[in-house]
Structure 1
């Protein structure tokens, strides 16, 4: 039997989350003064929409009300997605980040910023941006060589359809 509150919460909520076609990414209980907050982070390959998040929030709230896992005092339930600069910690995270720029901290101490092109069981195929007008280069990176990785926000990324139109011209 689980001993920590997070483990008990995961056991209770994960079946509901997966029944909605989502992955339970994180559960966190925070306390600020007398106020407690339960944050549940979910995701899917297609990215959950707001209606699905709202439905899930109601399901989780009802399930939590049936149990004493959060104790007797009041708490706030927050259900959301990982956000724009999500850490990449699971194979599925890398798959979902295909086409996105990511920052990598390597096990040898180096750092790398590159676009994830493809993902398989051993690692990643990347496109490393060119510097000072040079062309991008391809690079293979094994999962064993990655200490930490995080998706990077791109504000000036060209839309794929705009890129193909420019190439046709």
Structure 2
């Protein structure tokens, strides 16, 4: 499904992300948790970069006239309301971290440890599932563009 020229890590991130978002949209908690666990051994900084790029792009698509504080608040509330019905350990502050981090309003390096980074990645999947459901869009296109942009940025030499 994913381009063979992508590095293995990129394909693993894309596959686990797509599976988890699909499971969250149903919602199927067991399938969601299983897919999330596939992200745990991966480079969570790269996972964060992909998820953040996706969240930003979906928010931009949903709000083509500009994103407001009210728009972000609405997304947060909709996501939290929907996810608490099937994800009892949902942590709303982590949903806030996902949204503000994707928009560049908080510093992801302030997270304290690998367990926290995994929890943020897991909550990013919940946010993505909600946003993609709202946009009525599959994750695949957003995943491809996010990974392509990260690859492009990594190959551009800084002056």
TM-score by length of 1: 0.24
Larger strand percent: 1
Larger helix percent: 2
TM-score by length of 2: 0.25
Q: Which protein has greater RCO, CA pairs closer than 8 Å, 6+ apart?
A: 2
Q: Name the larger-Rg structure.
A: 1
